[in-house]
Chains A and B, each alone.
Chain A
């Protein structure tokens, strides 16, 4: 070991900078210890204690910079003494990147943006209630994406919000569009005269994208979360949302989307609707249509709303999209003609729960028999094993038994890809029905996820697919359509149309 020293005259650095430089020197290969200090008596004592005081330093003054190094060889020590200059240069040259402050709480965020008006909350359910309560305290509207929020908490939050004139969308609210801004899993839709209140996230996405693709647009789309229309909650957000749209000058037609509300809640909705001046289109999936503008499917609701805006009949609006019944019948006949004997069932592998329900309704309306589902809501039989299809089967891959410990199937396609391959190998299967949901938050490249498995499947079965989204979505609906069509899939304009094509194929093969 050698000890070497150097004096740098007239160089002032604060002690912390010097300690950093000394630390860098100590980390150099072959350097055992290093000190870089101003030459005060006190510092010379420190050097002495560390055995780094060399004869060079005897004549030093307070304003000299002293560099002491203990190293394995003279060369290393010399290199370290020289390296100090560069290190000091770098310290002085360091530029502050000035990264913006990330607040740690809602209150901290409101220090930064005092006029924020909505809190989008997606923290774990057991904490979400407290965070939402704080947002209401601070006068913010809330979109609560989190699920697993206790029902009691949901009721407390919603009553408080109602009394304050605020909205609590959710818990378990996946989608909303406020002032044209998509929140959560939403699509880039046109702005326009149609307002939506929805207790179903995918239902909201389907209606809003169809409206947009039909050339109209959305004023506001308010999500409520699925529990809202249950008696326990009483439809607080649903009713407040409806009232807000009724009072909104930009909203010319209102669409209500929900799975069947509880009777008392439905009663309140009816009463509220009676006092609304705009036309109200409603789709309470699985119930008989309500009033003159009641619908049985999501697409029908979208068509009807746009028709009212345009002053046309819904049938006339359908032509705005491709499709129409004639195209569907042509496709059905072709698929049926291409099947070999024994192929007769439909397998619907859905990522949207509402789309699974809609498939069940459409299949029932077509008179299809022997329908099974892991989430039956009407006439379908419950699957014993959600992993094993029976006859005509509808599987909601977004239900709990599939999503524990893995992302939602709109994000992670792996489970569905495997299931498509399995179903295609079943000699009894004629057609596979899929939904692809685009928009913010969903998988950014669904076409590449499905490409290979669809190409392989269409050599054995037909693949019919709806694509919920717009051309302005990050995935670009047109591009996804083209890619999947190239892979051999038949693309429908709506989930309704896809269900009808697939259901009709199975129905025709059933009676054949």
Chain B
């Protein structure tokens, strides 16, 4: 735009800084928009310089990454036992949520879930026995994320557990996730009482074979399409999965009835799905995982490919930084608590479920989910503000997932760590809250901003690679 052109146009000002200038502009009736500017997050000057110099290279890499993510076609194709399909899974391995962690540093709920998992697996008969085994060299721990898998909350996956198998039809990669146990006392919140193990055994002996047969009957289900519909129906598929679960139920019910020879079992399975609004969470998560994994290892990309918590650390991985984890301490969510519980009882944030935010859903799509806005401050306008703010750090807008209220604008998708640092805006996550002691379960639900440290470290880590 030439200066002379400016003189012939209406002046439209973006005011960045002193808000009194915006007030003056308003007073004279000039068009102006105020920017709520904040200094960038604290990273080394050297890394800022390097990233600045490689801006074009980063943009090109991110464009490639976002093309892969937006073209992803997550489908549910079957079920199997983890040991048979999860890459790298061994009989003495336990997968967990979040970045890598040792037994010594695990939080209460994760330890509880490991104890429950070992009892379920038949490797221990009492909690004491399980704890000894868990602390020994005989058990190998690994993040779900490093094995094409995701798990909500503690995210414990034992070798014999049945898992959903998802495939990215566009790129051919796969992802895995266990079945959702429902609410109340459940393994993923660290509960390991006998009824918890009993329910897991029922899931293994009844739910798994019935669903497996039904999936074979109905064929692959296009989860991307299903989630897009669910967003139009008020889900953000992280903290609210009611619509998605209902849609899945509609898709599965006839197949379950057709393929299950035992009517009693068919009814049990249908009632179980119907009674668990979060049943679909364990499909929305791997759907996001299988979409994002296809975009790993694009050199120079600053797009977050995994963002997750283990209840002790918050960790992220970037497409441009390979398998390296960037971690920092994780916060306790700002939550609404169930009767009898307070923030004192809450464990710091935990679970792989923030894979949904990483893929432009969950907290990033909260404006699509007015039913749960009270977690984010109470009004729909708060929810809309959160989603609008996430566009600031998104690498792209989704081509399929949309926000009806925003005139069907695509959800903010792909967290760009460069934007996170320069704009000083952390990703927004909505989440469930676990009790800090093992065995108690969920105590509330709420929201939090991602921890800052993993992002500053990732920014500097990316700069270090770019400098080479």
- B30 engages A127 (CB within 8 Å): no
Interface residues of A in 37-69 (CB under 8 A from B): 37, 42, 45-47, 49-52, 68
- Which of A33, A45, A68, A130 touches B184 (beta carbons < 8 Å)? A45
Given A19-B337, A165-B1, are A250 and B18 neighbors across the interface (CB < 8 Å)? no
Q: 10 more A-B contacts (CB under 8 A) besides A118-B13, A244-B4?
A: A16-B371, A45-B184, A108-B392, A109-B14, A110-B14, A116-B13, A116-B14, A123-B39, A182-B24, A441-B20
Chain A residue numbers with a CB within 8 Å of B389 are 101, 104
Which single residue of chain B is at the shortest CB-CB distance from A247? B4
Contact partner of B2 (CB less than 8 A), chosen from A68, A124, A165, A220, is: A165
Which A residue sits closest to B440, measured CB to CB?
Answer: A49
* Contacts A94-B378, A105-B35, A127-B40 given; does A181 touch B340 at CB 8 Å: no
Complex-state Cα separation, A203 to B424, whole angstroms: 38
Please give, as numbers and ranges, the residues of chain B lying within 8 Å of A111 by CB-CB distance. Answer: 391
Q: Write the B7-28 contact mask toward A (1 if CB under 8 angstroms, else 0).
A: 1011111111110110011011
Q: Tell yes or no: A167 within 8 A of B by CB.
A: yes
In whole Å, how far is B14's beta carbon from the nearest beta carbon of chain A? 5
The answer to whether B7 touches A248 (Cβ under 8 A) is yes
Q: Do the beta carbons of A182 and B392 come within 8 Å of each other? A: no
Tally of A interface residues using CB under 8 Å: 79
Q: Which residues of B contact A441 (CB under 8 A)?
A: 20-21, 24
Whether B37 sits at the interface, judged by CB under 8 Å, is: yes
The reply on B372 being an interface residue by CB < 8 A is yes
**Which of B72-80, B120-128, B139-147, B379-387 is the interface stretch?**
B379-387
| B33 lies within 8 A of chain A by Cβ | yes
- Given A105-B423, A124-B39, does the pair A20, B385 have CB atoms closer than 8 Å? no
Beta-carbon contact of A115 and B12 below 8 Å: yes
* A–B complex contacts, Cβ < 8 Å, 30 sampled: A33-B339, A33-B340, A35-B339, A47-B339, A49-B340, A94-B378, A101-B389, A104-B35, A104-B36, A104-B38, A105-B35, A106-B16, A108-B423, A116-B13, A116-B14, A116-B31, A116-B33, A118-B12, A119-B16, A120-B15, A122-B15, A123-B16, A123-B37, A127-B39, A130-B52, A135-B14, A145-B17, A166-B1, A178-B6, A244-B7
B3 to A167, Cβ gap below 8 A?
Answer: yes
Give A442-470 interface residues, CB cut-off 8 Å to B: none
Q: Are B339 and A46 in contact (CB under 8 A)?
A: yes
Query: Count of chain B residues with Cβ under 8 Å from any Cβ of A?
Result: 62
- CB under 8 Å from chain B, chain A span 139-164: 139-141, 145-146
Interchain CB contact under 8 A, B388 and A141? no
CB-contact partner of A17 in B374, B388, B423, under 8 A: B374
Contacts of B2 in A (CB 8 A): 165
A321 to chain B, nearest CB (A): 25
Mark contacts of B88-122 with chain A using CB atoms, 8 A cut-off: 1 yes-contact digit, 0 otherwise: 00000000000000000000000000000000000
Query: Which residues from B are CB-within-8-Å of A127?
Result: 39-40
A23–B20 Cα distance when bound, in Å, is 39
CB proximity of A222 to chain B, nearest CB, Å: 8
- Does A29 interact with chain B (Cβ within 8 Å)? no
CB-defined contacts of B1 to chain A, threshold 8 Å: 117, 139-141, 165-166
In the complex formed, the residue of A with least CB distance to B20 is A441
A496 to B407: give the CA distance in the assembly, Å: 59
Contact A109-B35, Cβ < 8 Å, known A182-B28, A244-B7, A248-B7: yes
CB contacts under 8 Å to A, within B324-355, are: 336-340
- Distance in angstroms between the alpha carbons of A130 and B48 in the assembled complex: 11
Report yes or no: B425 in contact with A94, Cβ–Cβ below 8 A: no
Q: Give the docked Cα–Cα distance between A14 and B184 (Å).
A: 18
Query: In the complex, what distance in Å separates the CA atom of A20 from the CA atom of B377?
Result: 11
A72 within 8 A of B: no
Considering the complex, which residues of chain A in the window 143-200 have a beta carbon less than 8 Å from any beta carbon of chain B? Answer: 145-146, 165-167, 178-179, 181-184, 188
Could you tell me the distance between the alpha carbons of A244 and B4 in the complex, rounded to whole angstroms? 6
Is A34 in contact with chain B by the CB < 8 A criterion?
A: yes
A201-B34 Cα distance, complex, nearest whole Å? 23
Give the docked Cα–Cα distance between A183 and B24 (Å): 8
State in angstroms the CA–CA spacing of A439 and B27 once bound together.
12
Shortest C-beta distance, B227 to chain A (Å), equals: 21
Partner of B12, one of A46, A97, A113, A244: A113
A390 on the B face (CB < 8 A)? no
The answer to whether A116 touches B340, judged by C-beta atoms less than 8 angstroms apart, is no
Asked if A131 CB lies within 8 Å of chain B CBs, one says yes
| B249 on interface, CB distance cutoff 8 Å | no
B residues less than 8 Å from A131 (CB atoms): 16, 37
Nearest residue, chain A, Cβ from B444: A19
Q: Is the CB of A50 within 8 A of B339?
A: yes
A77 at the interface (CB under 8 A from B): no
A486 within 8 A of B: no
Is B183's beta carbon under 8 Å from chain A?
yes
B35 CB contact (under 8 Å) in A22, A47, A103, A248: A103
A450 to B446, CA, bound (A): 54
A104 near B25 with CB under 8 A, answer no
Taken together as a complex, chains A and B put the C-alpha atoms of A183 and B37 apart, in Å, by 19
The 8 residue pairs across chains A and B that have the minimum distance between CB atoms: A122-B17, A35-B339, A50-B340, A244-B3, A440-B24, A165-B2, A16-B374, A19-B336
**B144 → chain A closest CB, angstroms:** 27
- Report if B375 contacts A (CB, 8 A): yes
Q: Say yes or no for A98: interface residue by CB 8 A criterion.
A: yes
Query: Which of B7, B30, B375, B419 has the most C-beta atoms of chain A within 10 angstroms of its own C-beta?
Result: B7
A474 at interface by CB-CB < 8 Å: yes
- A96, A105, A108, A220: the one contacting B7 at CB < 8 Å is A220
A118 touches B6 (CB 8 A): yes
Choose one: A68, A101, A141, A178; the contact of B384 (CB below 8 Å): A101
Closest to A35 in B: B339
The CA-CA distance from A19 to B341 in the complex, in Å, is: 12
A211 proximal to B (CB < 8 A): no
In the bound complex, CA of A397 to CA of B34 (Å):
31
Tell me if A102 is interfacial: C-beta within 8 Å of chain B: yes
In the bound assembly, the distance between CA atoms of A34 and B20 in angstroms comes to: 46
Q: Is A385 an interface residue (CB 8 A)?
A: no
B17: chain A residues within 8 A (beta carbon)? 120-123, 145-146
**Contact of A20 (CB < 8 Å), options: B3, B374, B419:** B374
Q: A86 interface residue, CB < 8 Å from B?
A: no
Interface centre among B31, B37, B391 (most CB of A within 10 A): B37
Instruction: Report the bound CA distance from A112 to B12 in whole Å.
Output: 12
Report the minimal beta-carbon distance from B396 to chain A, rounded to whole angstroms.
13
- Chain A residue contacts of B16, Cβ below 8 A: 106, 109, 119-123, 131
In angstroms, how far is the closest chain A Cβ from the Cβ of B76? 27
The answer to whether A141 and B391 touch across the interface, beta carbons within 8 angstroms, is no
- Per the bound structure, the CA–CA distance linking A35 and B424 in Å amounts to 39
Chain B CB within 8 A of A326 CB: no
Q: How far is the CA of A474 from the CA of B12 in the complex (A)?
A: 22
Docked CA distance A178–B392 (Å):
29
The reply to whether the CB of A267 lies closer than 8 angstroms to some CB of chain B is: no
Q: Bound complex: CA of A273 vs CA of B39, how far in Å?
A: 41
**Given A94-B378, A110-B14, A139-B1, also A179-B423 (CB < 8 A):** no
In the complex, residue of chain A having the shortest beta-carbon distance to the beta carbon of B373:
A16
Taking a contact as CB atoms under 8 Å apart, the answer to whether B336 and A106 are in contact is no
User: Which residues of chain A are within 8 angstroms of B422 by Cβ–Cβ distance?
Assistant: 105, 130
User: Which residue of chain A is the closest to B384 with respect to CB atoms?
Assistant: A101
| B423: nearest chain-A partner, CB-CB | A105
Partner of B385, one of A22, A101, A113: A101
A107, CB-defined interface residue at 8 Å = yes
CB pair B18 A122 closer than 8 Å: yes
Closest chain A residue to B52 by CB distance? Answer: A130
Within 8 A of B (CB), among A464-490: 474
Given that A103-B36, A441-B24 are known contacts, is A16 also in contact with B375, CB under 8 Å in the complex? yes
**Are B10's CB and A179's CB within 8 A?**
yes
User: Given A19-B338, A250-B7, A441-B24, are A106 and B39 also a contact pair (CB < 8 Å)?
Assistant: no
